Structure 1
Amino acid sequence: MEPTETLRPAKAEKSELLKQAKAYVTQLFEEKLPKQLVYHSLDHTVAVVKEARKLGEDSGLSAPDQETLLLAAWFHDTGYTEVYDGHEYRSMELAKAWLTQQQYAPERIALVQDLIRATHRNEAGETELHQLLMDADMSGMGREDFFANAELLRAEWETTLGKTYSSTEWAESQLDFLHSAKFHTDAAKSRYGEQFKANLKEQRDLLKKTEKKKKKKDEEENGTFAEPKRGIETMFRTMYSNHMKLSDMADKKANMMISLNAVLLSVIITYLGAKAGTKSGVLSPTIVNNPVLTIPIGLLLATALGSVVSAILCAQPDVTSFKWLKKSPQIATNRRVNLLFFGNFSKLSLDDFQSGMTELMGKKDALYTNMVTDIYYLGDVLTRKYRLLRISYTIFMVGLILTALSFGIALLYKM
């Protein structure tokens, strides 16, 4: 038997060959197709085959051409199992290898390869079969599931190609795609024309809605200063309240140390001067008779004095200020100026203060800029207060320990 006689005729066992092609492609996709290809999946290939069959029937294709068209549809994306960009050319090789094993006619194998090549973005469809497969492959833009499939393609590009799009950017790209795309055959125009127009209109509306949402979001972000939100107001209210409480705590602790050390100083001075006479001079007879007690009493006196001085400095009013320069305009937006604090605005003339407050109420970010500056200055004052308070308590603690130790040593010395 001659080799040409063993080749499968175009019409012979058409349905069986297509079933075998379906089984082969299905198994190939299940085993080798990367999981991140959520758009160019088996479902997409099945949809293209379905649309190619209907377009071929509407165009009145002959049985051999219909079979060739469907075989090309089954194999047109098989190259994705090995390569992403330029997968069409790998699909041609896979189709040729499998069809050769099935003893399909060589001229028909070449035609299947030629049809698959036509689906590449840089190839032009010249024949009716080319255009039918191209229309079937792009039929999604004329179907109701266009937007759902578009999101799958977006996800696939992000995971496979690293291309990320904002909602607005994606809506713009899809609208550009619909504007530039077209169906080539009359069968496709008739089948998908109405839905294509509906999808185009819906995509325009979606872009407008997306741009409106983006604009609103930008206005909310940029307009937060002009129209304060509850969360931001709560944040500032909480911060002011916390600063005031901390300042009040520092003042109370400082006043406690002032009172305690003032009493201690009074007792020490009274004791040192008690029963002072002409023989003992200005000191108490106890000190004169026991000069070794001078050390612990002196330490206690120094402790009380150092602690009370630090506490007084802590409780002392501290007014932050700045050097105002007449050549510095835009008072309200100057980050170093706080018009909400008297220590700053008291340095200004009435006219400068009024103009600054007017600017403060008119600028978008001026109000919160001044509130942030005010909180910064409050924090600066609190830092100084608690540093001095810490010094006062440390002096008092260390001084008491040294006084007790020295007094114990003095007692041992006397014994």
Structure 2
Amino acid sequence: METTPVIKKAKAEILRQAKTYITTLFEEKLPKQLVYHSLKHTTLTVKEVRALGEAAELDASNQEALELAAWFHDTGYLDTYDGHEYRSMERAGEWLQEQGYPTDRIAVVREMIRATHRDEPRETELQQILVDADLCSLGREDFCASGELLRAEWEAVLGRSYSNTEWAEIQFTFLLSSKFRSHAAKERYGEQYKANVKEQKKRLKKIEKKEKKKKEEVQGNFAEGKRGVETMFRTTYDNHVSLSQMADNKANMMISLNAVILSILITYLGAKTSSIGPAFTRNPILTVPMGLLVATALGSVVSAILSAQPDVTTFKWLKKSPAIATNRRINILFFGNFTKLSLDDFQGGMNELMRDKDLMYTNMITDIYYLGEVLSRKYRLLRISYTIFMVGLILTALSFGIVLLYKA
């Protein structure tokens, strides 16, 4: 007659210890990004398994194991995100073994936690109850609020971002693909689950309607501003062509000027060598300014030639790549891109482009971007050419001045 209270007291004690251990563990070590799989979620799961276990009229031993599994089922998140259930099993087994918990009951707890993994079977009633409690938000009024916490957690931990429409579709699909397995869970969450399905369906339609209306408004505004958009593109193209011509003219000027300088120097030095012998035998110090002038002219003309050199942007087309017209990195209107395609691919891409105004503008924007890259390279090399020429002339003049002072 006195053994029953002692057993109940022992059972209550292991649950209190588990609660204290998990609470401290989560408060100290659980990553802050886990806003859904938090201590609050674990506490709610324990509360729900307690209610479901009582409704299912479980015996005290199974009820205790169920609550222990609920406390430990998310502890694996401290170590890993995907597949955390298996790490949770290990943590539960290690801790329960330290407490001297029976080995056969530890196995029951571990198998319940294993069942919470999406790919594991849920065969026993205890496993089904734990899984149902873990997914109790499907049948609660705070389903949408819980979903937003999960959305924020995925964005912070997994780097996955979803639009409102995408998230509403994910939630609706999850609702339809999920179901409560235990009889107790069906009784407890069934009505609210159906209400959540209807509400989410209504929410999805509302979001899709709103997004469609917004898209139509944008397209309408885009059509109204068509003339302004076309003027912008035309002006931008004209500016790019003018800047490119200006860069080529400046490069040609530098090429001509430095080519003349090099020709004069080579002719002069060649004539001196042939007629009077080595020009700098008597004045070897003159090699310094003359060498500077030759290096200046050579460096400047090379940079100018590189600037004026044609630069065609290309890409490597693979058959496994996305459709031509929808690839934002490809400009099908530019010969440097479309000459890499077969005639069939080019014709298909052009037909697709002509059917979609957005794709056409995207290709034009891509073309402007690549033109800007070419212009940037041209002016960078042109600036180098002018800088070499300027610095070289200054150094040459200074060196000639020093030579004259030295000879004097």
TM-score, L = length of structure 2: 0.53
Q: 2:312 maps to which residue?
A: none
Alignment of 1:34-53 (within 5 A): 34-53=31-50
* Per-residue deviation, residues 3-33 of structure 1 (Å, max 9, x unmatched): xxxxxx9755111111110010011101111
Out of 54, 59, 68, the position equivalent to 2:56 is: 59
Out of 141, 147, 160, the position equivalent to 1:144 is: 141
Q: 2:238 maps to which residue?
A: none
In structure 1, distance between residues paired with 2:222 and 2:182 = 57
Out of 153, 157, 167, the position equivalent to 2:154 is: 157
Paired positions, count: 229
Q: 1:190 maps to which residue?
A: 187
Q: Say whether 1:200 aligns with 2:223.
A: no
In structure 1, distance between residues paired with 2:146 and 2:157 = 16
* Two-structure CA RMSD over aligned residues (Å): 2.4
In structure 1, distance between residues paired with 2:88 and 2:184 = 26
Identity of aligned residues (%): 63
Q: State the secondary structure of the residue aligned to 2:80.
A: coil
Q: Say whether 1:70 aligns with 2:57.
A: no
In structure 2, distance between residues paired with 1:214 and 1:136 = 35
Q: Say whether 1:86 aligns with 2:88.
A: no
Alignment of 1:321-336 (within 5 A): none
Q: 2:28 maps to which residue?
A: 31
Shift of 1:102: 1.0
TM-score, L = length of structure 1: 0.53
* Per-residue deviation, residues 283-313 of structure 1 (Å, max 9, x unmatched): xxxxxxxxxxxxxxxxxxxxxxxxxxxxxxx
Q: 1:99 maps to which residue?
A: 96
Q: Say whether 1:135 aligns with 2:165.
A: no
Q: State the secondary structure of the residue aligned to 2:37.
A: coil
Shift of 1:227: 5.7
Unaligned regions of 5+ residues in structure 1, if any?
A: 1-8, 237-364, 370-415
Alignment of 1:340-379 (within 5 A): none
In structure 1, distance between residues paired with 2:105 and 2:222 = 70
In structure 2, distance between residues paired with 1:70 and 1:17 = 10
Q: Say whether 1:177 aligns with 2:174.
A: yes
In structure 2, distance between residues paired with 1:50 and 1:26 = 14
Letter in 1 for 2:136: S
Note if contact 1:10-1:108 (Cα within 8 Å) is conserved in structure 2: no
| Larger CA Rg, structure 1 vs 2 | 1
Note if contact 1:10-1:104 (Cα within 8 Å) is conserved in structure 2: no
In structure 1, distance between residues paired with 2:121 and 2:158 = 25
Shift of 1:87: 0.6
Shift of 1:225: 4.1
In structure 2, distance between residues paired with 1:27 and 1:205 = 41
* Per-residue deviation, residues 120-161 of structure 1 (Å, max 9, x unmatched): 000010000010101000111000111001000001001111
Note if contact 1:52-1:70 (Cα within 8 Å) is conserved in structure 2: yes
Letter in 2 for 1:21: A
